[in-house]
Amino acid sequence: MFCPNCGRQIPDDANICPYCGFQLRTIPRYR
C-alpha cells in the first residue's frame, strides 16, 4: 500500500510509515 502522507510504498501490515512516521492505523481501545 502507499502512505497517504508521503506517498511512498510501504508494507501492507505497517502501522506507521517507516519513511515519514505517519500513523496509519489507530490502536484499538480495550474496554
Q: Does this model's pTM top 0.75?
A: no
As a three-state string, the secondary structure of 1-31 is CECCCCCCECCCCCCECCCCCCECCCCCCCC
Give the model's pLDDT for residue 18: 96
Q: Are 23 and 12 in contact (CB under 8 A)?
A: no
* Percent of the chain whose predicted confidence (pLDDT) is above 70: 81
Give the model's pLDDT for residue 11: 94
